[in-house]
Structure 1
């Protein structure tokens, strides 16, 4: 048995489950150390943990030592309780308290923070994650027998639990315990402090409901967040149920950690473990983006890229009649400055796809396809990261300047990874090295850009459909000028009133000096006009 994987039995004993009301707190008069006994049984069954084999099995000897001491203490209690139950229980309480104090000391030494935001190695994180679980369960047991540090540990957890993504689940416990008139008193054995947690949950629920009766005041932040979360989940479920969807990641149960499938932090920081990284999409069917109104999308793109009507038609045409957006691998060829990257990004936006632009210039490894979790810098493949951010199975990955990727194979080559992921059958069951399980990436679309065919792998040219973009003509000047000005406004935080479009005289200047058809050159000319406006404005 290893220290890293926390099985479902161990996680079922976690303190957070009791505070959220997911687990029933022990009733008054029951064995006060039941949670600790359950955790020990879930972890080692009836056997006695062995320090001799701990290191060889990859376990932290400190953790194994605590469990071994607990097993011996419970066995001694079972033997002595027949002679004097109260004395045996008091002895056990001292032993569990000593174990709790040790675990807290180790957590402080490792730099453990109460927000559970680990930033160190996977091995250290696995150990501290289990120490946190163990500390919570021991505190839960000691709460019943009046151990003050246990009470303070639990109260110290509540504020950060309330501030987390699932904080609303702990509101009832927080409110109910705050209103408990006995909470300020010293707890003694037999008083039933732990058993009162169930009453606290009920009390907190009633107080919250009573606060709403005839109260026109604004809802508290946690209630608003809870409603918004429920509405978002319902909307997402409706979208998936009413349209095409795909199961990208079946499960992360084989990975170490405490994160549950579907209960991560979509779009946000998820910590450093593969299980936490995959949790938000694990076991969930993700939506496939429906094909939008192609006529409207074409009109918008043609207005912005009048020189590329044939390319727009070539890409949008095959989508007619499809249930969801899926583009064949496509390579946009064209001289520098033709706006290939912008065209790819705008195409994805008009089709409703989340766009990830991956800069290929200078990439000299195969990290695009993911890196093993045995490395501290391990991560999932780029397409899977894009899917997780978008919470959609169909996304667009733009491989920008693919021809400038490195060709050395010391650490793998980008092109080899691209060839693997753009093969539909391979993508359907791609074995991600970070999550160490198959994921379905078959709905991901790829658009690559390059200045020429020179340096491109022949296999890649045979896999991708090649569309050539020529230099921009004067027909594109008005649309490109509007786009460049929009970018400058966004960078400066201005609106149309403060940075209007060019007047006729400025348009004539641009037409006269824009000769090479490069968007970069046009950007320089527009910036020159804006700078001239600023200079003239200071003289007035």
Structure 2
């Protein structure tokens, strides 16, 4: 803008026009003449050289402005009123001028325009183009009305609260809600279309509704915060509670279960060598002391932990063979080793078979039926030796998996199933599971050094059952590991084993769902026959389970329709 006195009055700014103001003088030609005379006063005296300097040295822009000034002044004649033909000719001139100005200005980089906007510098020529867009939209030009949405959002994005931000955002929202459709409402006393007014009213109504909704949510949040604050104890009450906690005796860890008579082992002789004050076998270890290796294992150190005694092997065989009739040879070989033993210990066992043949299920059931606590450890993808313990010098230090299992069970006997052993990583950058477990599979497990408790521990009561789909690669890369296992080929279920297999799978599903046989009975002859039709020799146990689940789901679906 210029600091000179206005020759024809001060027209409203583009922002004011977008906020609902009518053009200066209630006509397009009066508004445009006032604007050109106010912003480019050199046009009044036809000072071409000064105008050339004001528009950045562009002679094309000088000729454009002079032509627009001439076309606007033709609309002023004191002797006679302006005819409708002259108005249409003037509108056509404005449309041509708007198109030409856009062509000249669009040659500039877009970031220059945004940079001017961000620093609050409005280029008079950009302002003129925006003004022509608004004025042509008021004259009913469809293309100009279509560009008003982008213009509204640009001005709203850079507006301040005191510069009509609400009106601009309301008009922009309303334009979007109305999909840019213009109404036929006019400014009072004129024929100019009030295109933006209806949009603004629609958008402001939506904003007001959203504000009411947000205000309600804020009120609810404040009320909840106040209620929560009232529910909190006062400072006096908190100080009294703190004093009571300070004077209260330290909580004690639960004492390990009493060791029954029978075979047993001292797993960890002592923790006296570790930093701390907890004593071996001391069950009164406070919570803060228990967070150290010495405090964690002090209640269990120096004590004899019980081994699981061998029970009725005939009953165990009956249960296992009834569930796995096709693996009767493996079951007999495992149980034969326990004859005459005082406690349950299974020599390292490796079950090799096709996917879905039931290897892991058999390993789990062997441990469960014999009364051993169980941990299934997935070896697939393991590429370090953390199974064997991590030194306490690291913040993530922890005891070996077997020692953790024994401490959790309160026993000296347990079983670890090394599932998918053939899929363990073979790299040695962070240690190797396949190399590390070698001493655990021999008599060296009685003297295994755990780096977390920094002492020898007796893990000879832990049994290991591994599963694998194949051992050709394992024999080639780790022959010593394969030599330490008794290797058995896991046979696939036969067709004659299907009734027993179905009964076991239904029992498992019942146990998982917490149901008894009344609510989920065994499959009847028709249901079993349906599964038998899809059973193939050497079929996967997983496939059979999926078939059983499908039959059970169908049974439940039919039951809901009864």
SS in 1 for 2:472: coil
Alignment of 1:279-428 (within 5 A): 279-424=298-443, 426-428=444-446
User: Is the contact between residue 328 and residue 465 of structure 1 (CA under 8 Å) also seen in structure 2?
Assistant: yes
Name the CA shift for 1:160/1:346 in 2 (closer, same or farther; >3 Å): farther
Match of 1:8 in 2: none
Is residue 2:245 matched to residue 1:156? yes
- Pick one of 519, 537, 544 that aligns with 1:498: 519
Partner of 1:438: 456
Counterparts in 2 of 1:58-207, with a 5 A limit?
155-157=244-246, 161=250, 164-165=252-253
DSSP 3-state at the match of 1:392: coil
Distance 2:389 2:308 in 1: 24
TM-superposed deviation, 1:392: 1.3
TM-score, normalised on structure 1? Answer: 0.55
- Cα deviation per residue 1:58-106 (whole Å; 9 max; x = unaligned)? xxxxxxxxxxxxxxxxxxxxxxxxxxxxxxxxxxxxxxxxxxxxxxxxx
Aligned to 1:526: 548
Correspondence for 2:82: none
Q: Distance in 2 between matches of 1:503 and 1:243?
A: 46
Contact in 2 for aligned 1:360/1:400 (Cα 8 Å): yes
- Residues 218-254 of structure 1: per-residue CA shift (max 9 Å, x gap): xxxxxxxxxxx7xx85xx33x2xx3111111011122
3-state DSSP of counterpart to 1:399 = strand
Distance 1:265 1:321 in 2: 40
In the comparison of the two structures, how many residue pairs are matched? Answer: 320
C-alpha distance after superposition, 1:102-133 (max 9, x if no partner): xxxxxxxxxxxxxxxxxxxxxxxxxxxxxxxx
**TM-score, structure 2 as length reference:** 0.53
CA contact under 8 A between 1:252 and 1:278: conserved in structure 2? yes
2:502 equivalent in structure 1: 481
Following superposition, the deviation at residue 158 of structure 1 comes to 5.6
Distance 1:153 1:343, change over 3 A: same
Counterpart contact for 1:264–1:270, Cα < 8 Å: no
Alpha-carbon distance in structure 1 between the residues aligned to 2:523 and 2:240: 68
- Partners in 2 of 1:402 and 1:343 — Cα distance? 16
* Residues 272, 480 of structure 1: alpha-carbon distance in 2 compared, 3 angstrom cutoff: farther
Partner of 2:265: 246
Equivalent residues of 1:263, 1:279 under 8 A apart: yes
Rounded to whole Å, the distance in 1 between the matches of 2:337 and 2:363 is 17
CA contact (8 A) 1:307 1:475 kept: no
- Give the structure, 1 or 2, with the largest relative contact order (CA under 8 Å, sep 6 or more): 1
Secondary structure at 1:243 match in 2: coil
TM superposition shift of 1:418: 1.2
- Confirm or deny: 8 A CA contact 1:330 1:466 kept in the other structure: yes
Q: Structure 2: where are the runs of 5+ without partners?
A: 1-237
The secondary structure found in structure 1 opposite 2:527 is helix
Deviation at 1:150, TM superposition (A): 11
Change (3 A) 1:537 1:431: same
Larger radius of gyration: 2
Q: In structure 2, how many angstroms separate the alpha carbons of the residues matched to 1:261 and 1:153?
A: 32
Whole-angstrom distance in 2 between the partners of 1:291 and 1:330? 18
Structure 1, 476-485 or 527-536: larger mean CA deviation: 476-485
5+ unaligned residues in a row in structure 1: which ranges?
Answer: 1-148, 167-228
Deviations 1:233-283 (A, max 9, x none): 5xx33x2xx3111111011122234544334599x9995421233223211
Q: Is the 8 A contact 2:278 2:289 kept in 1?
A: no
Contact 1:360 1:405 in 2 (8 A): yes
Structure-1 separation of matches of 2:402 and 2:435: 15
The alpha-carbon distance between structure 1 residues 412 and 522, as it changes in their structure 2 partners (threshold 3 A), is same
Residue in 1 that maps onto 2:11:
none
SS of match in other structure, 1:455: helix
Residue 68 of structure 1: aligned partner: none
Q: 1:505 to 1:428 in 2, by over 3 A?
A: same
Using the TM superposition, name which of 257-266 and 460-469 deviates more: 257-266
Tell me the C-alpha RMSD between the 2 structures: 2.7
The reply to whether residue 538 of structure 1 matches residue 560 of structure 2 is yes
Counterpart-to-counterpart distance in 1, 2:514 and 2:248: 37
Verify the 8 A CA contact 1:401 1:451 in the aligned structure 2: yes
- Displacement of 1:532: 0.9
